[in-house]
Each structure stands twice: as C-alpha cells, then as structure tokens.
C-alpha cells in the first residue's frame, strides 16, 4: 500500500494540548508511515554566558581564543526535552509505533521548519489552540507560523482545553 506521508514530524512542547495529536499520528503510522520523528524545541536562553580564554593545544605556539561557555540551564533544558520525548516514544512503542526523537535549540517555528526540511519530511502534524482575535494577535501561534513558513504539508489538529488527555 502506498502512503504519501512516510516521514512525519511531530512537534511537542510538553503540554497535554500538543499531545492531543498523538492519536492522529498513530493512525498515520498504522497506515504506513515509515518514520515518526518527535521533536521538541527549547527556546534560546537570553543573557550572557561566561567568556573564558583557552589555548589551542594543537598549535605550535598556543594562542588564547575566547570561548563562550553556555549556561548550565541549556544542558538541563535539553535533558528535560530528551526525557519527555523518550517517555512519549515508549508509549508509542507499546502501540507498535517506532519513533525517533530530537531536541533543538532556537525559535520553535523556525526550528520545526528547518528540521522538517533537513529530515526530508512529508508532513508536519501539530496542534493548534484555535485562538482568534486579540488572543491570537497577542500570544502568536507557533503552528500558524509553521503553516506559513513550511514548504511541506502541515496537518493542524485543533484542540481545546476540555479535550481528554491522551493515554
């Protein structure tokens, strides 16, 4: 059976609302998708890192170069993202769905589109809150930004606060 959506990117932000897309992803996986890629994006931490001088040990005359050490919070946030995605991956594996996971650092909409392009994805499946009016304008929407910027199809699942959480 031919499935036009073989590599599917599933951006998740740790919320139950984002996870409401998982039943849809399961159906697509059982319909023949080869690769389900779970993605979470950690926004960059603003502020200054500590700059230190290090010597290049391979140089004949070691010169000092400035190096910026990232705050420890970046590594902590990445590990939290990995643990979260691994939990979701285990849950899907119990249902017979193999996944890959990735954690990216940066602007969520930009990173989702970039990752989808790098992975040669066929589809992005993500939740949208369906906000309108002032709430949409004030809060912005990662899903809307992805929809506008992506060169591949985006399946947006509208979810609300009162929808039941996924198992």
**Which tens digit of pLDDT belongs to each residue from 55-107?**
555 555 555 555 555 555 566 788 899 999 999 999 999 999 999 999 999 99
Evaluate whether 92 touches 22 at the Cβ level (below 8 Å).
Answer: yes
State how far the Cα of 108 lies from the Cα of 94, in Å rounded to an integer. Answer: 28
Domains parsed from the chain with CATH numbers: 7-44+70-158 (3.40.50.620)
State how far the Cα of 132 lies from the Cα of 62, in Å rounded to an integer. Answer: 59
Q: With a threshold of 0.85, does the pTM exceed it?
A: no
pLDDT, residue 70, reads 54
First CA to last CA distance, the chain: 29
**What letter would DSSP give residue 4?**
S
pLDDT, residue 53, reads 46
pLDDT, residue 86, reads 96
Q: Which strand (E) or helix (H) includes residue 90?
A: helix 72-93
State how far the Cα of 134 lies from the Cα of 142, in Å rounded to an integer. Answer: 16
């Amino acid at each position: 059976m031919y499935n036009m959506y073989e590599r599917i990117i599933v951006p998740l932000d740790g919320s139950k609302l984002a996870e409401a897309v998982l039943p849809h992803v399961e159906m697509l996986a059982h319909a023949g998708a080869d690769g389900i890629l779970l993605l979470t994006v950690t926004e960059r931490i603003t502020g200054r890192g500590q700059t230190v001088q290090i010597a290049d040990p391979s140089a004949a005359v070691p010169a000092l170069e400035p190096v910026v050490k990232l705050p420890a919070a970046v590594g902590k946030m990445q590990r939290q993202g990995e643990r979260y995605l691994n939990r979701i991956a285990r849950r899907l594996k119990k249902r017979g769905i193999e996944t890959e996971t990735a954690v990216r650092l940066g602007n969520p909409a930009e990173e989702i589109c970039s990752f989808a392009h790098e992975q040669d994805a066929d589809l992005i499946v993500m939740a949208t809150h369906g906000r309108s009016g002032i709430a949409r304008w004030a809060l912005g929407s990662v899903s809307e930004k992805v929809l506008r910027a992506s060169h591949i199809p985006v399946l947006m699942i509208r979810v609300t606060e009162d929808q039941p959480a996924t198992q």
